[in-house]
Structure 1
Amino acid sequence: MPYGMRIWGPDGTLQLDENSFTLRVVLSQVVTFTGTRQVQTFSVPGCGPDNASAVVIPIGNYGEYDRQFEVAMGAGVVEVANWMRNWGSGTYTASGSMRLLVMRFR
């Protein structure tokens, strides 16, 4: 075992070792946009599309005309936009605040 952690249960059986799937939140950040189109970039060293995932969660009530922010995971960064960048027909721009969560998995 080059590195890692092992956890045994009360009966002595191995419950978790260095080969187990784990998930860890590496960034939790409130992202706020005004009405203009913007992209915000956050640094997440060691994270990328192959070992991490990012989501945004609305804060508070979600109104009828509210729009979801868009996230894109890159190598060491996550970008959050307040419009659908890959949808040419989309004219909606979101505003308000949402929580960004970046989770690294193994």
Structure 2
Amino acid sequence: MSERQRPVTLTPAAFKKLEQVSTATLTSQLDKHGFRSTFLQGLYPLRPDMRMVGYAFTLRYVPTREDLVDELYDNTKNVQRLAVEQVEKDDVLVMDA
């Protein structure tokens, strides 16, 4: 699969630097630039020793009503499945469900 065109491309050095920045610092910077409520309260990492840095690959999942549209359940054409299959190296799947 060929890589998607990204509006911003990070160098390996930038990825390394971002791995050193705390979530609180990133959230504060987003807030200063007008991006409010960019985090969920009360979450704790399962692996505090690991850091995750990548390009956000966003997906919004809205359940469909199978009683209205049977063909939406053809697994090979499911838009959520197709989106998940497009996730590439350095992507982080961010899902609103």
Larger radius of gyration: 1
Normalising by structure 1, report the TM-score: 0.24
Kindly indicate which of the two structures has a greater share of residues assigned to helix: 2
- The higher relative CO (CA closer than 8 Å, separation ≥ 6) is in 1
Kindly indicate which of the two structures has a greater share of residues assigned to strand: 1
Normalising by structure 2, report the TM-score: 0.25
